[in-house]
Amino acid sequence: MLAYIVRRLALMVPTVIGIMLISFAVVQFAPGGPVEKVIAELTGQGASATSRITGGGGDFGGMQQNAPAGDPVSSKYRGAQGLDPAFIKQLEKQFGFDKPAYERFGKMLWDYARFDFGRSYFRDISVIDLIAEKMPVSISLGLWMTLITYAISIPLGIAKAVRDGSRFDVWTSAVIIVGYAIPSFLFAILLIILFAGGSFFSWFPLRGLTSDNWDQLSLGAKILDYFWHLALPITSMVLGAFATMALLTKNSFLDEIRKQYVITARMKGLSERAVLYRHVFRNAMLIIIAGFPGAFVAAFFSGSLLIETIFSLDGLGLLGFESVLNRDYPVVFANLYIFSLVGLLINLLSDLTYTWVDPRIDFETRDV
């Protein structure tokens, strides 16, 4: 097993480099960029609603920005006609675009290997500090959503499989289908209307993960306040994920229950509980474990993006979305790099969990 782990860790290096290379190449051909964004801000040509240019570097207020029309340096950027070429060159130098693409990519890989992500283009803060600032929100949402989803879905899926075709199975299937059909963001809006002061009750807060008087609260009150703020976002996120996982669990257990080894175990006189949890459970859980990495990683970014926006939770999902819109490339690539590493490591952890659930699986004798 140790040799398998070493091979998997070694393969992560070219995998991450490939992901970063493809993303870097796509960005080179994407319209717009940080230079165009600053030019648009300065010339009043419009900017993203989420833009935050807060002293990322360089003071251009006193620089002469007028230049003859048709200047080749200015005209290669949209809206830069008539601006001083020296001003454009200073912008390029500030954002690192005065160097060729291959040199910028090589420097990025070298810096990222040392977890040096530089500074945000449009926020006066280092990227690693910015990510660390947003991380607790995304960890809270992703961790609790995953734990609650699995805690509900696995027992429910097993109960549905054992009672397949019963009234319990029919009614719970109806609830699951409704939950699957309603997007989480619509359910979030419904919860706000009903319970967060929208039109009916004001039982839950609408913004943030803590109250304004958090520092004055006792330890017990802080825990209650934390879960009070989490209640509506987590409920809206769990709905869709819980429906999918419950059906997946039921189908996996049904498939195993109908196999010959289960019939043989029953013929030997084993109780239904012993058959279910000593034989069926281990095999049926493999497919559930296989879906864990994707569900876990998605909960930190794509799964929580709209929820973070609706409930004004400033986490990694919202940060990544704003960074793409604002062409804040250091934040974009740092998020991509971190999520790629986390995804690869969790996939490895998933494989190791396979062997713990079913010792018959031996990755050591297989190709990676």
pLDDT of residue 161 exceeding 70, the answer is: yes
pLDDT of residue 56 exceeding 50, the answer is: no
The pLDDT tens digits of the residues spanning 298-317 come to 666 555 677 887 887 888 87
DSSP string, 15-84: HHHHHHHHHHHHHHHSS--HHHHHHHHHHTS---TT---S--S---TTS-----TT-HHHHTSTT-TTS-
pTM over 0.75: no
- What 3-state class would DSSP assign to 354? helix
pLDDT of residue 17 exceeding 90, the answer is: yes
Could you give all domains of the chain from N- to C-terminal order, each with its CATH number? 34-126 (no CATH), 128-365 (1.10.3720.10)
With pLDDT > 90 as the criterion, what percentage of the chain qualifies? 4
Q: Which of 50-54, 70-74, 167-171 has the lowest mean pLDDT?
A: 50-54
More confident residue, 354 or 252: 252
CA end-to-end distance (rounded Å), the chain: 12
CA dihedral 225, 231, 232, 237 (to 10 degrees): 140
- Which of 35-39, 40-44, 51-55, 348-352 ranks highest by mean pLDDT? 348-352
pLDDT for 69: 47
Q: Each residue of 22-56: b (16+ CB within 10 Å) or e?
A: eebeeeeeeeebbbbbbbbebeeeebeeebebeeb
